[in-house]
Amino acid sequence: MNHLKRNLQFVVSIFAIVIFVFLIGRYSRPQASSDLKVYFLNVGQGDAEYIKTPSGQDILIDGGPDTSVLNELGKVMDFGDREINLVILSHPHADHLTGLLEVINRFKVDEVWETGVEYPSSTYDLWRQEIFARKIPDKIVKAGDSKDFGETKIKILYPLSPLQNSKIDNLNNASVVNRLDYKKFSVLFMGDLEKDFQTKILNENLFATVLKVAHHGSSNGLSENLLKVVRPALAIIEVGKDNTYGHPASSIINLLKKYAVRIYRTDQNGTIEIDSDGEGYWVKN
């Protein structure tokens, strides 16, 4: 009887060890996923969006107003992942650019896309110096430029022509606008392009599942004509809690509600994650 009992205890012990090793293996390394993951990072009064493609590439659009982007990336990137395949700077206002300086210091960045517009800013000057010093390929983009990441595609819709070394009165209207497509799922990233200039891209194929509302939902951040063309199911507003600008404007919230668009805000929802298998999508926050 004692012999049988010892054998049973041995079997139970081996089984427990096998289960333990399985759990350690399951939760201590990144799990493969066929889903696209898009994160609208909670970086306060600024923009930063991180994309993990189903084929494993990392894309970052903007970096927010300070170093909080590093903490947010630490929550969503795979443990030990120190490489970002593509960084897109929509425009060099501090609330989009500042965090990227720390990103290129902490991560290996394979490529940068931007407009190269002229802007008198010490932060922007440092950005250019760091890119040059680190020999990061820096592409000046315009409408029609695109890149495939497996089945995921990034396409530039604006600016319509190169803006390198151009002086623009309103830098918001020099924003990179890009569209992310994965099978039947799409996201339209508007940067801070204001509604008077949004008319310039209405001829594009703008229909998208998700709309990243321009300029933190300010009163000039969304035109009704654009909304009619895009017809998003979801709208994301990246905005700081209790900000002094009054963002988002009540007029924009009311406009989105008029068209029955579901609204998510980083000041209320924190970092917003949207996963898609290319057919459906799921919102996590």
Question: What pLDDT, on a 0 to 100 scale, did the predictor assign at position 3?
Answer: 52
- Per the CB < 8 A criterion, the answer to whether 85 and 58 are in contact is yes
Residue 31 pLDDT class (50, 70, 90 cuts): very low
Write the pLDDT tens digit of every residue in 203-255: 878 999 999 999 999 999 999 999 999 999 999 999 999 999 999 999 999 99
Domains in the chain: boundaries? 1-31, 33-284
The structure tokens 């696209």 sit at: 36
Tokens (6 digits) for 179: 């569209």
DSSP class per residue in 159-185: -SS--TT-B-SSGGGG--EEEEEETTE
β-pairing, 83-84 with 146-149? unpaired
Q: What is the pLDDT of residue 4?
A: 45
pLDDT: which is higher, 157 or 3: 157
State the pTM of this model: 0.88
Give residue 43's pLDDT.
98
pLDDT at 1: 52
Angle at alpha carbon of residue 70, lines to 174 and 35, rounded to 5°:
80
**Helix (DSSP H) and strand (DSSP E) numbers for the chain:** 8, 17
C-beta separation of 197 from 191 below 8 A: no
Q: Three-class SS of residue 88?
A: strand
- How many other β-carbons are positioned within 10 Å of the β-carbon of residue 161? 8
Per residue in 110-166, pLDDT (tens digit) is 999 999 999 999 999 999 999 999 999 999 999 999 999 999 999 999 999 999 999
Query: Stretch 44-51: mean pLDDT, rounded?
Result: 98
The yes/no answer on whether domain 33-284 falls in CATH 3.60.15.10 is yes
Instruction: Give the model's pLDDT for residue 205.
Output: 80
